[in-house]
């Protein structure tokens, strides 16, 4: 990397704390979740947000979009939502030059930089599947024609963990498309008190635009250039392989897991560790990056057996045990 490029990138990276500060004007607490959403953005992936109602999931995403000056769209997923409602459809219009009627593709809400797929598990599999090509290929196909989605492109899907009646759980194939599975917890007593004080008056904080869409694209390029040692890559490979019962050295995994993470999990862990380094104004990955991100990256890529569910064993407990057993040598 040339010195001029390094200076430019350092200026961009120095704006990331300011970005978190702008988001903090509106969102009180949830710092870990905010960091993980920003990591997904820097890594060029998508994330699934899970939390009970009222934890400001929608507000968090909208606030981040405002601070980044990126086009934001919210899709409320419902049982009657059709694929054309999110992708778009052709409409018949008059061609003013020829006087003939022509079909014109009317782009759906997926054509935005940040798309909030609210309560994605409330829509049928047919509509959920319509998002797969967009998430993986960054384009949609309609009537044999490809339409490229804008860049940067980030899908943030939300789901409610406590209300499962009338929902359509995401299949494992689609869960694996999400780079991170982020769980939002209740705020602390102090944070909740500050929420009550700051959101029930007349004061409305004004957000400043910190980074442009072009800045984000450059930071995504920088993320892939961040250094990670062969030792840490080897540790990631060992960790991911240890989640698979057939190959795992862990008796805990063999006892409670049905199947483990695939190679995509290792790719995600390397890339997100680099993104976390950038977010923390570093140009090299450290072990803490990997150990912190192991949870949101692996928790939706490990399937537990029926006995584990009956005993209250969660994927987070399996990950914690693996991190305890597997040490960097």
Question: Over the stretch 259-270, which tens digit does the pLDDT of each residue have?
Answer: 999 999 999 999
Rounded to 5°, angle at Cα 273 from 303 and 249: 45
Residue 163 has pLDDT above 70, yes or no: no
Least confident residue range of 28-32, 107-111, 250-254, 280-284: 28-32
Residue 300 has pLDDT above 90, yes or no: yes
pTM: 0.90
Residue 96 has pLDDT above 80, yes or no: no
| pLDDT of the residue at 271 | 97
Structure tokens, 153: 């492109």
The predicted model gives 55-82 an average pLDDT of 87
pLDDT in tens, 199-228: 777 777 788 888 888 999 999 999 999 999
Give residue 37's pLDDT band: very low, low, confident or very high (50, 70, 90). very high
| pLDDT of the residue at 207 | 81
| Mean pLDDT computed over every residue of the chain | 87
| pLDDT of the residue at 230 | 95
CA 74, distance to chain mean position in Å, is: 15
The predicted model gives 253-279 an average pLDDT of 94
Calculate what percentage of the chain has a pLDDT beyond 90: 45
| pLDDT of the residue at 59 | 84
| pLDDT of the residue at 182 | 93
Ordered alpha helix ranges (H), the chain: 3-13, 16-24, 31-43, 57-68, 83-87, 125-137, 172-175, 189-199, 213-225, 230-241, 251-256, 263-279, 287-298, 306-311, 315-325
Structure tokens, 19: 């970005």
- Highest-scoring range by mean pLDDT, 89-93, 97-101, 115-119: 115-119
Count of residues for the chain?
329
- Highest-scoring range by mean pLDDT, 46-55, 179-188, 271-280: 271-280
Residue 173 has pLDDT above 80, yes or no: no
Which residues, in sequence order, are bridge partners of residue 136? none
SS3 annotation, 165-197: CCCCCCCHHHHCCCCEEEECCCCCHHHHHHHHH
Q: Please state, in angstroms and rounded to a whole number, the distance separating the CA atoms of residues 89 and 80.
A: 16
| pLDDT of the residue at 26 | 84
| pLDDT of the residue at 52 | 81
CB of 158 closer than 8 Å to CB of 58: yes
SS3 at position 142 = strand
pLDDT in tens, 114-131: 999 988 888 888 888 888
Give residue 68's pLDDT band: very low, low, confident or very high (50, 70, 90). confident
| pLDDT of the residue at 260 | 92
Give residue 42's pLDDT band: very low, low, confident or very high (50, 70, 90). very high
């Amino acid at each position: 990397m040339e010195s001029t490029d390094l200076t430019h990138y350092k200026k961009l990276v120095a704006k990331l704390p300011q970005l978190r500060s702008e988001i903090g004007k509106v969102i009180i607490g949830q710092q870990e979740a905010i960091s993980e959403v920003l990591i997904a953005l820097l890594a060029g992936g998508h994330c699934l947000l899970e939390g009970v109602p009222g934890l400001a999931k929608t507000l968090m995403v909208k606030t981040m979009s405002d601070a980044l000056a990126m086009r934001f769209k919210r899709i409320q997923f419902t049982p009657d939502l059709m694929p054309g409602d999110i992708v778009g459809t052709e409409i018949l219009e008059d061609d003013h030059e020829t006087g003939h009627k022509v079909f014109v593709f009317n782009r759906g809400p997926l054509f935005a930089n940040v798309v909030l797929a609210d309560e994605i598990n409330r829509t049928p599999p047919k509509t959920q599947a319509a998002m797969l090509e967009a998430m993986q290929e960054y384009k949609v196909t309609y009537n044999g024609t490809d339409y490229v989605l804008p860049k940067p492109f980030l899908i943030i899907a939300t789901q409610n963990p406590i209300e499962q009646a009338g929902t359509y759980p995401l299949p494992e194939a689609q869960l694996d498309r999400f780079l991170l599975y982020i769980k939002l917890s209740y705020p602390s007593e102090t944070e909740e008190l500050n929420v009550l004080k700051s959101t029930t008056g007349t004061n409305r904080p004004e957000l400043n635009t910190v980074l442009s869409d072009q800045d984000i694209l450059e930071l995504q390029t920088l993320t892939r250039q961040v250094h990670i040692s062969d030792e840490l890559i080897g540790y990631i490979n060992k960790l991911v392989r240890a989640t698979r019962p057939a190959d795992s050295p862990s008796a805990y995994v063999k006892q409670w897991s049905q199947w483990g993470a695939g190679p995509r999990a290792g790719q995600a862990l390397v890339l997100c560790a680099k993104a976390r380094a950038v977010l923390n104004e570093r140009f090299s990955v450290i072990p803490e990056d990997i150990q912190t991100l192991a949870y949101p990256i692996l928790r939706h890529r490990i399937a537990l057996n029926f006995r584990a569910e009956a005993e209250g064993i969660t994927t987070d407990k399996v990950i914690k045990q693996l991190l305890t057993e597997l040490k960097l040598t």
